[in-house]
Every structure is written in C-alpha cells, then in structure tokens.
Amino acid sequence: MARRGCALLLCAALLVLGAAGAEAAKRSKDKDPLAKDAKDASPSSTRRKSLSGTPVPATPAAPGRGAVMNLCDSFHIRTLNVYCSCSSQQLLNATEASCWVFGKSENESAPIWDSFSSQPNLETLKINVREESIHKFVPTRALSFLRKLKLFEIMYATIAELQPYAFANLTTLQELQLKRNQIITLKPRSFAWLPNLTTVNLGENQIVEVQREVFLGLPSLRRLFLDRNNITILHDGAFMHLSGLDELELNDNQLAVLTRETFSGLKMLRRLLLNNNKLRMLGDCTFCEMPHLTELYLNENGLQYLSVRAFEGLSRLSRLMLGDNALQVLSPGSLNGLARMRYLDLRNNELNTLAYETVKPLMDNFKNLSSYFYIEGKWSSIS
Ligand SMILES: *[C@@H]1O[C@H](CO)[C@@H](O)[C@H](O)[C@H]1NC(C)=O
Ligand SMILES: *[C@@H]1O[C@H](CO)[C@@H](O)[C@H](O)[C@H]1NC(C)=O
Ligand SMILES: *[C@@H]1O[C@H](CO)[C@@H](O)[C@H](O)[C@H]1NC(C)=O
Ligand SMILES: *[C@@H]1O[C@H](CO)[C@@H](O)[C@H](O)[C@H]1NC(C)=O
Ligand SMILES: *[C@@H]1O[C@H](CO)[C@@H](O)[C@H](O)[C@H]1NC(C)=O
Ligand SMILES: *[C@@H]1O[C@H](CO)[C@@H](O)[C@H](O)[C@H]1NC(C)=O
C-alpha cells in the first residue's frame, strides 16, 4: 500500500518538474525526456490511494446535481477519472490546481467540470493527461467558473479541434500552454475575447493550416508559438488582428509559400522564426508589413531564389539567418536598406560568387566588433 502511495507522490513531483522544465526544453529544441518518464511513472492504479498511502475507504459515487463537490477534496470519490491536487483543500481557497486524467476521462457534461465552481479563486490550472488515457476537449465549462485564472495548461490530450471561445472569454487569462495535444484544427474564434492574454503556446501539435479569424480580440498578445506543427497554409490575413504581437514562431512546419499578405497586421512584430520549413523562393516585399522586424530566421529551408526586393522595408533588421539553404547567388541590391544589420549568416549555401556591391551597404555595420558576417562558401571569385 505504502509503495503505491509513494508512486503517486513521485508522479506528482515529476509532474511539477516536467512543468518547470517545459519551457527550457522548448528552447533547447530537444525532446523533453521528463515528459515520457513522468507519464510512465504513474499507472492509473495508484490513484485510488490517498497521498499518505493509506487505503481509501469505500465511498459513495460523486454527488449528483445540486450538491457541488469540492474540486480540491474529491480524492475519495472513487468513480472519478480526474483527480486534482490544489494549493489549499478548503472550499473557495485554492489558487493553484494540478489535475491528472486517468483512463477514459469524464465526458463534457460530467459533474466534475461543475465542481470547478467550488474553487473560483484559482489563478493557475494545469491538466495532464496520463499515458494511455483519453481526453478529447478543452474543459470550457470548468474554465468559465474561474474568473481569476491567469495560466491554463493542458498536455497530452487528444484535442482534434479547438472550438470557438474554447477559453470562455476569461478577462484575466494571461497565458495558455497547449503544447502536445495533437491539435489539428483551429476553428475561427478559438482564441477570442481574451483581453489580457499575452502568450499562446501551440507548439508540437499537428495543426495543418491557420485560417483567418482564429485569433480575434487579443489586444495584449505578444508571443505566439506555432512551431513544430504540420502547417502548410497560412491564409492571407491569418494574423490580421494581432497588431501588438512581438514574437511569432513558425519554425519546423511545412510552409512552402509566403506572401506579403501572410503577415498583414503584424505591425509590431520583432522576431519571426521560419526556419526548417519548405520555402524555395521569396518574392518582392514578403516582409513589408512588419517594419519593426529585427530578427528573421530563414535557415534550413532549401531556399534557391531571393527576389532583389525580398527584404525591402526591413530598416530595423539586425539579424538575418539564411544558413543551410541552396542559394547560388545573392543579387546586388538585395541587402540594400538593411541599415541596422549586424548579424548575417549565409553559411552552407551554394554561393559561387558574391559581388562586393552586394555586401557593401552593410560593411560599416560589420566593423562593430560584436557583429558577425558568416559567408563561408565554395568561392570561385569575389568580385
Ligand atoms: C486560505 O488559506 C490561507 C493560507 O493557506 C489561510 O491563511 C486563509 O485563512 C484561508 N482562507 C480561508 C477563507 O479559509
Ligand atoms: C457523462 O458522464 C456522466 C457521469 O459522469 C453520465 O451520467 C452521463 O450520462 C454521461 N453523458 C454522456 C452524454 O455520455
Ligand atoms: C464568449 O463570447 C461570445 C461572443 O460574445 C459568446 O458567443 C460566447 O457564448 C461566450 N462564451 C462564453 C463561454 O462565455
Ligand atoms: C490585466 O492585466 C493587468 C496588468 O497585469 C492588470 O492590472 C489588470 O487587472 C488585468 N485585467 C483583468 C481583467 O484581470
Ligand atoms: C503531421 O505530420 C506527421 C509527420 O509528417 C504525420 O505523421 C502526421 O500524420 C501529420 N498529421 C496531420 C494531421 O496531417
Ligand atoms: C557596436 O554595437 C553596440 C551594441 O549595439 C553599440 O552599443 C556600439 O555603439 C556599436 N559600436 C559602433 C562603433 O558602432
């Protein structure tokens, strides 16, 4: 008995670690080894025991309608497949809750979601779906009771579609962590009317396209992560309403075509990651809608052709990563106007010649010792 109880504690500890490490793992681009380990650490059989390891007495099923159970004191209810551990077990007093879903989750109309009304002061809610368990939706009903919620995280669910208003129009919400949920489709208005939302992380899902009107009414949104999905199409104006966005990660997708209209509305964007896609060429003025762009990552794309005017309008660009592509020429004029460029990486391309004319506009910038200019190549001539 005690051993099983410990297994659950261990599982809780691993989960906490997993959450803390998630951001670091994302940055390091590595697979998060904790994630799998944490999932393996807790077979669903362990949840029937209390945290102290003592066996749980036989108890009645979940209360029916009318009597709302305390979400943070529902451990003894043996019929539930959702279990939450909270910062306080008292009614109305918890500010943080971590929930685990075991086996086949509760359905969308199950009483457990109403029981979130017993803890309306939650500011942080994390839901982790255990291995071989199935949970297919964002618990919008539960969220609608949490009028102080700032952070919502769900991981390892199987949410094929995000529904309109999935996050219940919560005015306090600041951060949504939605990585690794096998999300394929974002319905229009799935992120809507969340006035304080600053960060949305949709990395490592299976999103195939981003339509217009998915992101609507998000005046505070600064960071949007769509990295490591299956995105082939960004519809024109998909980001139209994100006029305060600072950082957009679209790396590790299947994008083949970008136009000026792809990015319309992103007038404050500073950092854009497009590395490891399938871009073969960039046409005129592709980034013209983003005059504040300072960092642009286009490495690992198989780029063969850049229009002379591809980088037009980027007077604030300071870092341009073009390494690991298939560029054979860089036409004179293509780097004109990039007055603030300090880091240019052209390594691992097929450049045979590079006219001095082409890089001349940047030469003054590169005199600064903290700048770099990588242009390794199989030079036959620099003229
Ligand atoms: C809530 O919990 C805090 C600390 O855990 C405690 O000081 C406070 O009295 C509790 N409030 C209520 C209403 O129970
Ligand atoms: C949902 O689950 C509850 C019990 O948790 C059950 O009473 C109800 O019939 C289920 N509804 C559907 C549509 O399956
Ligand atoms: C959110 O707002 C929209 C539009 O006003 C409304 O249709 C929807 O029902 C609201 N959803 C919730 C959960 O409050
Ligand atoms: C939105 O965030 C700001 C700054 O963090 C805060 O002062 C304000 O109260 C928040 N608004 C709501 C509705 O929570
Ligand atoms: C996403 O891409 C992966 C790898 O290419 C593939 O296995 C998976 O089926 C794709 N998913 C969708 C929904 O297209
Ligand atoms: C070099 O760059 C640094 C950092 O941006 C800046 O503070 C400094 O003034 C620059 N020096 C010259 C000589 O341009």
Give the C-alpha separation, 137 to 159, whole Å.
5
Give the C-alpha separation, 316 to 340, whole Å.
6
Q: Tell me, what amino acid is at 187?
A: K
Helix (H, G, I), strand (E, B) or coil at 295: strand
Ligand 1 centroid vs 91 CA: distance in angstroms? Answer: 10
What pLDDT does residue 362 have? 83
Most ligand 4 atoms within 8 A of CB, residue of 121, 123, 172 to mutate: 172
Q: Tell me, what amino acid is at 26?
A: K
Ligand 3 centroid vs 341 CA: distance in angstroms? Answer: 45
User: Which ligand has the minimum distance to the alpha carbon of residue 209?
Assistant: 5
Angle value at C-alpha 100, between 99 and 101, nearest 5 degrees = 125
Ligand 1 centroid vs 96 CA: distance in angstroms? Answer: 13
Give the C-alpha separation, 141 to 102, whole Å.
20
Ligand 1 centroid vs 26 CA: distance in angstroms? Answer: 36
What pLDDT does residue 37 have? 35
Does 144 contact ligand 3 (Cβ within 6 A)? yes
What is the DSSP-derived secondary structure letter of residue 62? P
Does 54 contact ligand 1 (Cβ within 6 A)? no
CB 279 within 8 A of CB 251: no
Tens of pLDDT along the chain (383 residues) come to 333 333 333 333 333 333 333 333 333 333 333 333 333 333 333 333 333 333 333 333 444 445 688 999 887 777 789 999 999 999 999 999 999 999 888 899 999 999 999 999 999 999 999 988 999 999 999 999 999 999 999 999 999 999 999 999 999 999 999 999 999 999 999 999 999 999 999 999 999 999 999 999 999 999 999 999 999 999 999 999 999 999 999 999 999 999 999 999 999 999 999 999 999 999 999 999 999 999 999 999 999 999 999 999 999 999 999 999 999 988 888 999 898 988 999 999 998 877 788 888 888 777 776 777 777 555 444 44
What pLDDT does residue 52 have? 36
Does 93 contact ligand 1 (Cβ within 6 A)? yes
Are β-strands 233-234 and 209-210 bridged in parallel, bridged antiparallel, or unpaired?
A: parallel
Residue 216's beta-bridge partner residues? Answer: 192
What pLDDT does residue 66 have? 55
Helices (H) and strands (E) in the chain, counts: 6, 21
Angle value at C-alpha 211, between 163 and 158, nearest 5 degrees = 40
What pLDDT does residue 182 have? 97
Report the sign of the C-alpha dihedral through residues 162, 168, 171, 173, in that order. negative
Ligand 5 centroid vs 205 CA: distance in angstroms? Answer: 9
What pLDDT does residue 192 have? 97
CB 153 within 8 A of CB 16: no
**pTM for this predicted structure:** 0.82
Residue 118's beta-bridge partner residues? Answer: none
What pLDDT does residue 376 have? 59
What pLDDT does residue 360 have? 82
What pLDDT does residue 381 have? 45
What pLDDT does residue 355 have? 79
